[in-house]
Amino acid sequence: DRSTAADLTDAAEARRLLDGRCSLAEAARFWIAQSGTLTPITVADAVAKYLELREADNLREASLQSLKYRLEPLAKALGPELLHTVTADQLRAMQKGSPVSRNNIRRYYQMLWSWALREHHAHTNAAAALTVAQADESLPQALTLDQVKALLRGTREKQPVLMPWLCVGLFAGLRIAELARVSEAHFRGGKLHLDPTVTKLRDRRILDLLDPLPAWLAAYPATGPLLQTNHRKRFDAVRKA
């Protein structure tokens, strides 16, 4: 059969998309082999379905909100497009912000595409081509003894309600997210009992309260949640004083 002008235009566009990675014949054979197993889905529907499934997994609210924060803009920007047609370049254009933010976006995109592969909504993982952004690898600076003393003194004088939170944060070695979930109910028998509602991995940990934490908590016992209302605003006021 003689090729029409439309056929030639289509072939030229196919070669542009393939960019030398394989021939048109190889691409056609691959499509024939794979097309029967593909279940097309739009980006918007894929994001909605994935979020629904993760919500059913009983994720913490903060984790679910983090997923929504990074995936919902993708659904808004590329919503009508079929997920299996989305390219790595389109995903790169969606990565905004600092290196840490871009790496977080990359991680969530890879999670979405990995799920799509398992559900036969895609044949390849477009997010796999996204590279890791180089973040600042300098180690966080530890507070000096004088800085710790000044912080305790300023909090005690200006925001004493923050003292249990600050002392546990300084001397118990908890992750920031774990510290935000601790309340007076977790202190029993001179120990800190961390249950699955607190810990990152939802395991149980029992920590001894090492000096000088017991003395500080005796002077400023926890009453209710350690994380107080407007604690960031209050603590910033202490640091700026």
Q: Model confidence over 37-94: pLDDT tens digits?
A: 789 999 999 999 999 999 888 778 888 899 999 999 999 999 999 999 999 999 999 9
Query: Locate tokens 């991680």: which residue?
Result: 107
Instruction: Output the DSSP codes for 158-218.
Output: H-GGGHHHHHHHHHS---HHHHTT-BGGGEETTEEEE-TTTSTTS--EEEE--TTHHHHHH
- pLDDT attached to residue 57: 86
* pLDDT value for 1: 61
Distance CA 221, CA 217 (A): 5
Rounded to two decimals, what is the model's pTM? 0.60
Is the backbone peptide bond immediately before 140 cis, with ω within 30 degrees of 0? no
Q: Is the pLDDT of residue 139 over 90?
A: no
Question: Which of 108, 88, 84, 238 lies closest to 162 in space, CA to CA?
Answer: 238
CA dist., res. 145 & res. 11, Å (int): 70
What type of residue sits at position 166? L
In terms of Cβ atoms closer than 10 Å to its own Cβ (0-12, 13-18, 19+), residue 64 is middle
Contact 51, 38 (CB under 8 A): no
Pair type for strands 187-188 and 191-194: antiparallel
Nearest-angstrom CA–CA distance, 160 and 83 = 53
**Per DSSP, what are the bridge partners of residue 206?**
193
Integer Cα distance of 71 and 77 in angstroms: 10
pLDDT at residue 36, as a whole number: 65
Tokens of 164: 């249990």
Q: Which helix (DSSP H) or strand (DSSP E) does residue 107 occupy?
A: helix 99-118
Mean predicted confidence (pLDDT) in 21-50: 86
- Mean of pLDDT over the chain: 89
Distances (CA, A) of 103 to 71, 100, 108, 134, 229: 13, 5, 9, 9, 31
Query: Is 230 a residue whose pLDDT tops 90?
Result: no
Statement: residue 215 has pLDDT above 90: yes
Q: Is the dihedral of CA 200, 202, 205, 211 positive or negative?
A: positive
Spatial separation of the C-alpha atoms in residues 122 and 220, rounded to whole Å: 56
